[in-house]
Amino acid sequence: MTNRFLGVRRAVTAAGSVALLGLVAGCGNGGSSDGTSSAPRTESGTATSSATGAPTGTSGVPTDPVSNSLTPSAPPVSASATRCHTSELSASVGRNNPGAGQENFPVVLTNESHRTCTLYGYPGTAFVDASGKQLGPDPERSAGKPETVKLPPGGSAWAGLSFSNPEISEAATATPAALLVTPPDEEDPLKVTWKGGAVPVSGDESSVRLIPFSPGTGA
What is this structure's pTM? Answer: 0.68
pLDDT in tens, the chain (219 residues): 545 554 444 444 433 333 333 333 332 233 333 443 334 545 555 544 443 333 333 333 333 333 232 334 566 666 666 899 999 999 999 999 988 888 999 999 999 999 999 999 999 999 999 999 999 877 788 888 899 999 999 999 999 999 888 788 888 889 999 999 999 999 999 999 999 999 988 876 678 899 999 999 988
- Quote the pLDDT of residue 131: 93
Residue 108 pairs in a beta bridge with: 92, 158
Query: pLDDT tens digits for 60-71?
Result: 333 333 323 233
The Cα 20–Cα 55 span in angstroms is 10
Query: pLDDT tens digits for 137-162?
Result: 777 888 888 999 999 999 999 999 99
Domain definitions of the chain by residue range = 2-215
Three-state SS across the chain? CHHHHHHHHHHHHHHCCCCCCCCCCCCCCCCCCCCEECCCCCECECCCCCCCCCCCCCEEECCEEECCCCCCCCCCHHHHHCECCHHHEEEEECCCCCECCEEEEEEEEEECCCCCEEEECCCEEEEECCCCCEECCCCEECCCCCCEEEECCCCEEEEEEEEECHHHHCCEEECCCEEEEECECCCCCEEEECCCCCEEEECCCCCEEECCCEECCCC
Closest CA to 219 of 97, 69, 125: 97
Residue 157 pairs in a beta bridge with: 109, 215
- Quote the pLDDT of residue 165: 84
The Cα 59–Cα 57 span in angstroms is 7
- Quote the pLDDT of residue 67: 29
- Quote the pLDDT of residue 76: 67
Closest CA to 23 of 143, 214, 175: 175
β-strand pairing of 140-141 with 208-210: parallel
